[in-house]
Amino acid sequence: MSDTVKNNALKNHLLAALPKEEFARLEPDLESVDLPLGTVIYESGDRMTHVYFPTTAIISLLYIMENGGTAEIGIAGNNGLIGSALFMGSKSTTSRAVVQSTGDAVRIKAKPLQTEFDRGGQFQKLLLRYTQTLMTQISQTAVCNRLHTVDQHLCRWLLINHDQLDTNKLVMTQELIANMLGVRREGVTVAAQKLQEKGLIKYVRGTITMLDRKGLEAAACECYQIVMDEYERLLGKYIPINRNKYETAGNK
Amino acid sequence: MSDTVKNNALKNHLLAALPKEEFARLEPDLESVDLPLGTVIYESGDRMTHVYFPTTAIISLLYIMENGGTAEIGIAGNNGLIGSALFMGSKSTTSRAVVQSTGDAVRIKAKPLQTEFDRGGQFQKLLLRYTQTLMTQISQTAVCNRLHTVDQHLCRWLLINHDQLDTNKLVMTQELIANMLGVRREGVTVAAQKLQEKGLIKYVRGTITMLDRKGLEAAACECYQIVMDEYERLLGKYIPINRNKYETAGNK
DNA sequence: GCTTGTATGTGCGGTTCCGCACTTATTCAA
DNA sequence: TTGAATAAGTGCGGAACCGCACATACAAGC
């Protein structure tokens, strides 16, 4: 049983990068959780209880405005974690964390997390470095929102999601994508049509298939690559990064 | 001499919030610096050498796109610091830090900073908490860039700057403001006109005077208040926050 | 098959903002 | 006082998106 948790946990790159000794200390406190699409991990202002390390799930950081408008500010899959506010000295954030792609995660309660963090070892180092990459991601979202078109932003968003998946198929309606990008659903429809016409993607009723990874990268703004590079620069020596994972197009 | 540095240093709220003992340990490594308008503290990708604690200067975090477009992602004055990447395990960021309002700062080299940070005391706690508020600020910039108008964003930006100043006059051309907001200079001209017509500000050739603080707050989007609240929530118990500093309108 | 619900497509007027060209106002120094 | 530099104002066509209304397509259950 606990062995299953361990196997699951090691699918998360941050946990997998820990020295054996540190992982062993954390292991008793790790817990596997199932995260169906739409699950709200924590709500804006909620007191957070756990830090989540996604293994196969993808989790989105979403800001909800007073008038109901929404915009995604960041995203984390098996390359990251959700709940950095906890070890940064807070117990809540101004955003909502919601499951964007069904899957699993491993979580740990605030207390044992903090204990290990305060030891000041590799765990602390990795968590802080990851948080720095998250800041880069959020920064780039800010820039992208101001200076780039919906078309470009959509490409970037598809690429980020693709990176966290082990398939070329993304289960996601245009309505939901619109919520993430902070634009109208119709805007996504039009942008997605253009990408389909170019042969970069194919989509049918809630499922998007990536057909041409390189083409998507070319159509995206610089923001995607900048965040990737920064992640590799900060965590590449601890976490193996396979940039060619999907170099060949095709459907799985 | 060293006394001057100390007096200067204590104008920064983070440094002032440190226990005497911790401040005393840092003091020998603190250095006062003069920061004229436009000084580039560090460039995107540069190896950073110091963390800066602004005392009277205001420093802007600016992203510069490949095509030359710019957008501000965050800002720090005497309520914060510049160079969080250093203690987050990085040595550079993807943004530029540039002096937006002439003034002083106190800085400390990476090494003594890290030493004190690794002690895990109040210094570490404050730095991490501040970094969390910075993330909120950047997140809100992302949201604001997507969902709010230039008019609203300008109000927010003026308020943020006003908070760091001890005067109602802000020395800043519309051209520079446009660079920060990531819009055209003409866009700022038009937005500023509206604010002037409403009697909220007055401006002449490079100087903006805030006339009606409450009016500006009303005209700004929710983003301003959210970031303020989060700062107070995370650091309010260490740092005195005077929300009514400028409640009365007028020129100084 | 038929119905119902959900997902997507399309058109249209309106707003915001851009890019560009040009004018006007203010400041400073010769 | 005159000229040059800088800052700000204006006008206009166009692009990107929005908000809304409605049309179509697909999926699943009866």
Q: What's the pLDDT tens digit per position in B173-209?
A: 999 999 999 999 999 999 999 999 999 999 999 999 9
Q: Which helix (H) or strand (E) holds A42?
A: strand A40-42
Give the residue numbers in A contacting B (CB under 8 Å), as ranges.
Answer: 61, 63, 65-66, 69, 71, 73-74, 85, 87-90, 93-95, 118, 120, 125, 128-129, 131-132, 134-136, 138-143, 145-147, 181-183, 222, 226, 230, 233-234
pLDDT confidence band for B41 (50 / 70 / 90): very high
DSSP SS3 for A239: coil
* Per-residue confidence (pLDDT) for residue B243, from 0 to 100: 64
A189 sits within 7 Å of strand C by its CB: yes
And the tokens for B95?
């943004």
Average confidence score pLDDT of chain B: 94
CA of B241 to C1' of D8 (A): 36
* Per-residue confidence (pLDDT) for residue A134, from 0 to 100: 98
CA of A176 to C1' of D20 (A): 19
Average pLDDT over residues A65-77: 96
Which residue is closest to C26 in terms of CA–C1' distance? B205
Which residue is closest to C15 in terms of CA–C1' distance? B149
Give the residue numbers in B contacting A (CB under 8 Å), as ranges.
Answer: 61, 63, 65-66, 69, 71, 73-74, 84-85, 87-90, 93-95, 118, 120, 125, 128-129, 131-132, 134-136, 138-143, 145-147, 181-183, 222, 226, 230, 233-234
pLDDT confidence band for A246 (50 / 70 / 90): low
- What are the pLDDT digits (tens) for A28-60? 999 999 999 999 999 999 999 999 999 999 999
On the question of pLDDT at A250 being above 80, the answer is: no
pLDDT confidence band for B249 (50 / 70 / 90): very low
pTM: 0.95
A65 sits within 7 Å of strand D by its CB: no
- What are the pLDDT digits (tens) for A93-152? 999 999 999 999 999 999 999 999 999 999 999 999 999 999 999 999 999 999 999 999
DSSP code at position A27: G
B59: Cβ contacts below 8 Å, ≥ 6 apart: B35, B41, B52, B75, B76, B77, B82, B97, B98, B99, B100, B105
CA of B194 to C1' of D14 (A): 24
B179 sits within 7 Å of strand D by its CB: no
Which residue is closest to D17 in terms of CA–C1' distance? A187
With CB atoms and an 8 Å threshold, state whether B138 touches A143.
Answer: no
CB of A192 closer than 8 Å to CB of A182: no
* Per-residue confidence (pLDDT) for residue A241, from 0 to 100: 82
* Per-residue confidence (pLDDT) for residue A244, from 0 to 100: 57
Question: Exposure pattern of A138-165 as b/e (b: 16+ CB <10 Å)?
Answer: bbbbbbbbbbbebbbbbbbbbbbbbbbb
Q: What share of chain B is helix, strand, coil (3-state, %, to 5)?
A: 45, 20, 35
* Per-residue confidence (pLDDT) for residue A243, from 0 to 100: 64
Q: How far apart are CA A13 and CA A79, in angstroms?
A: 5
* Per-residue confidence (pLDDT) for residue A252, from 0 to 100: 37
DSSP SS3 for B38: coil
Which residue is closest to C18 in terms of CA–C1' distance? B184
- What are the pLDDT digits (tens) for B81-100? 999 999 999 999 999 999 99
Average confidence score pLDDT of chain A: 94
Query: Which nucleotides of strand D are protein-proximal, with an atom < 7 A from a CB?
Result: 6-11, 16-21, 26-27
Among B66, B82, B122, B139, most A C-beta atoms within 10 A, so best to mutate, is: B139
On the question of pLDDT at B48 being above 60, the answer is: yes
On the question of pLDDT at B1 being above 90, the answer is: no
Say what percent of chain B tops pLDDT 90: 93
A187 sits within 7 Å of strand D by its CB: yes
On the question of pLDDT at A249 being above 90, the answer is: no
* HSE, side-chain direction, 13 A CA sphere, residue B16: 19
> Do the strands A103-109 and A96-101 form a parallel or antiparallel pair, or are they unpaired?
unpaired
CB of B74 closer than 8 Å to CB of B107: no
Average pLDDT over residues B150-163: 97
Q: Which of A204, A227, A206, A224 is nearest to A216 (CA)?
A: A224
CB of A27 closer than 8 Å to CB of A2: yes
Between residues B146 and A244, which one has the greater pLDDT? B146
Q: Which of B184, B185, B194 is nearest to B155 (CA)?
A: B194
* Per-residue confidence (pLDDT) for residue A41, from 0 to 100: 97
* Per-residue confidence (pLDDT) for residue B242, from 0 to 100: 73
B205 sits within 7 Å of strand D by its CB: yes
CB of B55 closer than 8 Å to CB of B164: no
* Per-residue confidence (pLDDT) for residue A234, from 0 to 100: 97
A7–chain B nearest CA distance, Å: 28
B149 sits within 7 Å of strand D by its CB: no
- What are the pLDDT digits (tens) for A202-238? 999 999 999 999 999 999 999 999 999 999 999 999 9
* Per-residue confidence (pLDDT) for residue A251, from 0 to 100: 39
Average pLDDT over residues A69-84: 97
CA of A32 to C1' of C18 (A): 50
On the question of pLDDT at B251 being above 90, the answer is: no
